[in-house]
Amino acid sequence: MRLSRSLSITSLSGLPLWEEESLPVQDLLLFEVSWEVTNKVGGIYTVIQTKAKITVDEWGENYIMMGPYYEHNFKTQVEKCEPPNQAIKAAMDSLINNGCQVHFGRWLIEGSPYVILFDIGAAAWNLDRWKGDLWNACSIGLPYHDREANDSLIFGSLVAWFFKELTDQLQDKPSVIAHFHEWQAGSGLVLSRSRKIPLATVFTTHATLLGRYLCAGNADFYNNLDKFNIDQEAGERQIYHRYCLERAAVHCAHVFTTVSQITAVEANHMLHRQPDVVTPNGLNVRKFSAMHEFQNMHSMNKAKIQEFVRGHFYGHLDFNLEKTLFFFIAGRYEFSNKGADLFLESLSRLNYLLRVHKSDVTVVVFFIMPAKTNNFNVESLKGQAVRKQLWDTAQSVKEKFGKRLYESLLRGEIPDMSKILDRDDFTIMKRAIYATQRHSFPPVTTHNMLDDSTDPILSNIRRIGLFNGRNDRVKIVFHPEFLSSTSPLLPMDYEEFVRGCHLGVFPSYYEPWGYTPGECTVMGIPSVTTNLSGFGCFMEEHVSDPSEYGIYIVDRRFRSADESCNQLTQFMFSFCQQSRRQRIIQRNRTERLSDLLDWRYLGRFYMHARHLALSRSFPGKFKMDHLNLTQGFRYPRPASVPPSPSASLHSTPHHSDEEDDDTYDEEEEAERDRQNIKAPFTLELRSALSCSSSSDSRTYLHPLPSENVLYLSDCSF
């Protein structure tokens, strides 16, 4: 039964209407296969979880996810129920009767999609036979010691077996679409195609397997894409069998997709097939939506971060918290891939610029990256204890002061301020002040690190000399643990923390998409990204002047590392020069870009990929016009005064945070943006970019001859 759509792309304010690609959903079954269904491992979990609502709205009960069964995950995330489709129930029963364990239920996330989960351990007795089937199908052998690859084969074999039983039950109607994510699900696609099971297949790579390994080893990846000996590189890293599985799945799929243009470049060289469609990752924007409250939420959560800073920097709190900006970087601890190396060097240069210009702005930078620790360090805990003690002392004195003032006024007397506080009160306050004395710098990390001497972040902090000294205008706090609202140090969850910061900095070198700057955007927080991340490329296409909307894009594609570092430094220095009003204006503009990242819009690219797969696998039943797909759009440059100080210089050397600028009207500008969004172009079948080498350390990308890959480009307005 098909559910009615509660939201459609046409409901997004300011976005152009889409022409519906009509698919007879009631006559189709859509299966989405991933190792991360109900099983959080990495970013793919976020993709399939946030996309579930819009897909269920589109497909209703004809949409089913498939993943591995883990008892704890099933008990805590899935509501067990019976399959509504008798053919699905019969296919499951066939597997169960042959000694396998298959579970069905509703995944308790937004949209409540159906899930089929296969017990890997219960079917492991078939492993040797299924290894033989894989070898006979595509001559790929799996070593016995690679448990992850063996588990993925068991999973894929069960999926292929299920599809064979299902299609035998269904005969010709309804037709089945199977969408596979990443190499762990690839064996299911390969086996299904080798057995000629009547499926329309889509395969999505979120990042190539070999690309991850090469970048993790600090290879000069983008300059040498066309020079790598792929087989040799995979063999040296002992992942040749995994690479073969991934490549086989890519070439067996009717439609191959990637999540960004930069990953399309990578896939073309690593996997030797250009993607048919680029399917950008979206977010459920309604989850983060706070309407006009997001500015108030920034203020409230900023106050929580300020409380932490008061404790962490006790004894050295000689800077004005009202003129302190909070920057952060967060994600997996991949020092070079996530751009932490570039960020630290830029912070050193930013510190120099702020000191030379005698700026009264202080920047506190948080590194939220999980690393090996054994506990909170004593100094960090002591700082929060000292802060709480000072607060209790102040509250105690305030109560006495208030009571005596109240009684004096009741008697009709103006109180003698020298008598309203007695000697004991002054003694208590002096003891509290003496307790804040500190003879060492505030710690740069909140935890005891197990690999303190070799930790990349700490080693680079020592190199650049940012030790939270009194003269430093840039302070660093390394929090080597994910945030939690139950933490005794910084009791905030990640969303609250992001809302309280002023700028997220993510200068990644290898980032197939990049959810962190996207999350900043939908929460109205400006961010820094790069043109080597999928998010950065996407914003460059859709926004004519991203920096005016709070999306700063560092050029790591065409510039050397030193030039990129200088550009990042300049972005941060310009941000520090903004007045409070300018930052508020910019946050309003940033939040308005949320619609760009909503699955209600980006889900359309998945719809197109499915339609294309059906037209290729069942050409007699499904056809599509692939040259006139859907219309795109592009945000214009804001018409009002830009927030960048470099573009709006003041007539006096110092300006007030409370400056009055009547040229800006948030509602008027938002309405103008909605009216000015242009959609004069169509998405065409174009080529991906390929990389060519250069003699220096820069990366240059040049277009290839036109092939079949879909992406947004060439916007005119």
Q: Residue 285 has what pLDDT?
A: 83
Same domain as 312, residue 181: no
Q: Using CA atoms, how far apart are residues 469 and 234, in angstroms rounded to an integer? A: 46
Flag whether pLDDT at 543 surpasses 80.
Answer: yes
Same domain as 185, residue 57: yes
Q: Residue 291 has what pLDDT?
A: 57
What is the tens place of the pLDDT at every residue in 471-504?
Answer: 999 999 999 999 999 999 999 999 999 999 999 9
Q: Judge whether 395 lies within some domain.
A: yes
Q: What is the torsion angle, in degrees rounded to the nearest 10, for the CA atoms of residue 321, residue 322, residue 324 and residue 330?
A: 90
Domain stops at, among 248, 278, 308: 278
pTM: predicted TM-score of the whole model, two decimal places: 0.84
Residue with tokens 């997709």: 257
pLDDT, averaged across the chain: 85
Mean pLDDT throughout 446-468? Answer: 96
Q: Residue 674 has what pLDDT?
A: 57
Q: Using CA atoms, how far apart are residues 177 and 31, in angstroms rounded to an integer? A: 6
Same domain as 495, residue 372: yes
Same domain as 583, residue 485: yes
**Which domain does 256 fall in, by range?**
25-278
Q: Judge whether 283 lies within some domain.
A: no
Q: Judge whether 101 lies within some domain.
A: yes
Flag whether pLDDT at 345 surpasses 90.
Answer: yes
What is the tens place of the pLDDT at every residue in 67-111?
Answer: 999 999 999 999 999 999 999 999 999 999 999 999 999 999 999
Q: Judge whether 204 lies within some domain.
A: yes
Same domain as 328, residue 450: yes
Q: Using CA atoms, how far apart are residues 599 and 533, in angstroms rounded to an integer? A: 19
Long-range contacts of 75-83 (CB under 8 A, 24+ apart): 77/38, 77/107, 77/108, 77/109, 78/38, 78/103, 78/105, 78/106, 78/107, 78/108, 78/115, 78/117, 79/105, 79/106, 79/108, 79/112, 80/104, 80/105, 81/105, 81/106, 83/114
Flag whether pLDDT at 647 surpasses 50.
Answer: no
Q: Residue 217 has what pLDDT?
A: 86
Give percent of the chain with pLDDT exceeding 90: 69
Sequence-ordered list of residues with C-beta below 8 angstroms from that of 126, at least 6 positions apart, any chain: 154, 157
* Residue 350, Cβ density class (10 Å: 0-12 exposed, 13-18 middle, ≥19 buried): buried
Structure tokens at 219: 């290879």
Same domain as 197, residue 214: yes
Structural domain tally of the chain? 3
Q: Residue 625 has what pLDDT?
A: 63
Q: Judge whether 479 lies within some domain.
A: yes
What is the tens place of the pLDDT at every residue in 241-276?
Answer: 999 999 999 999 999 999 999 999 999 999 999 999
Same domain as 372, residue 383: no
Same domain as 142, residue 223: yes
Q: Judge whether 54 lies within some domain.
A: yes
Same domain as 143, residue 59: yes
Same domain as 481, residue 497: yes
Nearest to 113 by CA among 174, 49, 176: 49
Q: Using CA atoms, how far apart are residues 496 and 308, in angstroms rounded to an integer? A: 14
Q: What are phi and psi of 261, to 5 degrees?
A: -65, -40
Structure tokens at 306: 């300020």
Report the CATH number at residue 318. 3.40.50.2000
Nearest to 497 by CA among 301, 326, 323, 331: 301
Q: Using CA atoms, how far apart are residues 392 and 149, in angstroms rounded to an integer? A: 57
Q: Judge whether 612 lies within some domain.
A: no
Give percent of the chain with pLDDT exceeding 70: 84
What is the tens place of the pLDDT at every residue in 394-438?
Answer: 888 888 888 888 888 888 888 777 777 788 888 888 888 888 888
Domain stops at, among 597, 615, 647: 597
Mean pLDDT throughout 191-217? Answer: 95
Same domain as 539, residue 461: yes
What is the tens place of the pLDDT at every residue in 568-614?
Answer: 999 999 999 999 999 999 999 999 898 899 998 899 999 999 999 99
Flag whether pLDDT at 658 surpasses 50.
Answer: no
Domain stops at, among 250, 278, 306: 278
Flag whether pLDDT at 46 surpasses 60.
Answer: yes
Same domain as 344, residue 248: no
Q: Residue 304 has what pLDDT?
A: 96
Q: Which helix (H) or strand (E) holds 418?
A: helix 417-420
Q: Judge whether 639 lies within some domain.
A: no
Angle 218-221-225 from CA coordinates, rounded to 5°: 155
